[in-house]
Structure 1
């Protein structure tokens, strides 16, 4: 069994994932773009029982947006770490895939919220594109 390890930019917050879920997506919504400072944010998923914080939990900060979504980040370096939808039931953790230090075999499988994508970004792959979330 592969254990996937990740951390924030400054290394004060670390986590591990013992099993990845297959859904991984590029989110183009305006909030993810602003939070990540990039054209899109890429999230992976793990069941809550397969995700654990290893260090730095006391450094975690969170931002709850006007739409009820919650983003957790490092209070020291600002690295984006997790995302939770407004209807989160706690079964899954969505985490910023780029914070993993361990290589993974899975690849993102969709672009979501492309109706809000940056006009200067062209999507140049053949992944499915959803105007909003995966269910439209």
Structure 2
């Protein structure tokens, strides 16, 4: 923390792609839908929002792959190790995957979304409200 400002950093598994957030993440959530399970090869996607103007790539931007290819909305991952790093909307970083943050101190999951379509073998933690789909009140997910 510098001058009461939180600075977070993150990187992919191989360390080739690195980023910095001059601020904090917010609206941390876990999505349990079938698309996230496939995209992240896990029971859920742990993701938090960022302010795009506070996000910057520090190294390895040339290694980034965007899916869908050529899209301005989707996800970006390291083309060398495959780590899912962020989501983009209109070409700007919208949020980051929590697993690629170097320090997750102070981040609390605010909601579990799409629990209605979770894998039958998954046990969803009780640490936050559950929503069968996407909550109608987005302020629940985007609270700071």
TM bucket normalised to smaller: 0.7 to 0.9
Quote how far apart the aligned CAs of 1:126 are: 4.0
Structure 2 segments unaligned to the other structure (5+ residues): 138-144
Runs of 4+ aligned residues of structure 1 deviating over 6 Å after TM superposition are none
Corresponding residue for residue 74 of structure 2:
70
Cα separation, partners in 2 of 1:75 and 1:15, compared to 1, 3 Å = same
1:35 aligns with 2:36: no
CA distance in 2, matches of 1:131, 1:69: 24
SS at match of 2:109: coil
TM-score (norm 2): 0.81
Query: Which digits, 9 at most, give the CA deviation of each residue in 1:62-112, with x for residues without a partner?
Result: 1129xx95111000000001124xxx3567621101101123212111001
Deviation, structure 1 residue 37: 1.1
RMSD over aligned Cα atoms? 2.1
Q: Distance in 2 between matches of 1:92 and 1:133?
A: 21
The equivalences for 1:105-124 within 5 A come to 105-124=106-125
The worse-fitting range, judged by mean Cα deviation, of 72-81 and 97-106 is 97-106
Following superposition of structure 1 onto structure 2, how do residues 1-136 of structure 1 map, counting pairs within 5 Å? 1-64=5-68, 70-84=74-88, 88=89, 93-135=94-136
State how many pairs are aligned: 131
SS at match of 1:24: strand
Give the Å deviation of 1:2. Answer: 2.6
Alpha-carbon deviation of 1:43?
0.3
Q: What TM-score results when the alignment is normalised by the length of structure 1?
A: 0.86
